[in-house]
Amino acid sequence: MRDPVLTPDDPPPVVLHAGGSGWVISVEHGGFAVPARLGGLGLPLSAIRGHIGWDPGAADVAHRLRARLDGTLVLQPYSRLVIDCNRPQGAPDLMAQASDGVEVPGNAGLDAAARAERWEAIHQPFHGALAQALNAAEAGPGLKGLLSVHSFTPQRATDPAARPWPVGLLWRQENALAHHLATRMATLPAAQPLGINEPYRIETLHDYTLPVHAEPQRRPHVLIEFRNDLIATPETAAFWADCLADLLANWSQV
């Protein structure tokens, strides 16, 4: 019989901080933990702590934003290389065998049982907690919106193109929250050039949170991508959290 991927000594698969305002903040790539039984996935810690292993700075911004908004924070503490919690079950990089030119030995040749175990132990508890947080907001103060917080690297090793945007705002389904934030952020000098659906786009085959938790229910939502060199210190993370909180002040669904 296979040993479970998570043991009592490993972190829980979701970090939850409840709030009372109706804002729900998700961080799908909020940590770089690796279950002890996976042996570090065969990678040095420096690789797992780099942009391929998590979204540097995103958790710091999200914690500060949660405090400013009195929002509910749902955060994933495991490395995206263990399992990417913003990917659907059939995505080729759900448990990536390589990321930005780096091979991941611990993900090579995974059988169906090993993949299913990570899905059930880590991915689904996170999304179960997120679904509960959204439902609770709707049943309580009223859901103001889902803010999915991420970060991206200024330049990938496998792509020479620079990524100049300080911030990217991503959405696919039209919703008033995304337009409100885009309109207000367009007036913020520090956010220029503002990336609209940059450096990524929401796609059903490569995204999970918004296609599952926001679009079918027509909930107000936006995915926010910060360039990770601009949120690398407590001071810069606080700056962007404060900017977001100010731009979202007095927001109400039209």
Q: Which residues make Cβ contacts (< 8 Å) with residue 249, sequence separation at least 6?
A: none
pTM: 0.96
SS3 of residue 34 by DSSP: coil
Residue 31 located in a structural domain: yes
pLDDT the model gives residue 108 = 97
The domain that holds 155 is classified in CATH as 3.40.630.40
Residue 2 located in a structural domain: no
pLDDT the model gives residue 3 = 74
Which residues in the chain land under pLDDT 70? 1-2, 253-254
Residue 205 located in a structural domain: yes
| Domain span holding position 113 | 15-248
Q: Tell me how many domains the chain contains.
A: 1
pLDDT the model gives residue 251 = 81
Residue 8 located in a structural domain: no
Q: Calculate the alpha carbon distances from 14 to 10, 27, 80 in Å.
A: 12, 10, 13
Q: Which residues make Cβ contacts (< 8 Å) with residue 40, sequence separation at least 6?
A: 34, 48, 106
DSSP 69: H
Distance CA 223, CA 148 (A): 5
State percent of the chain over pLDDT 90.
94
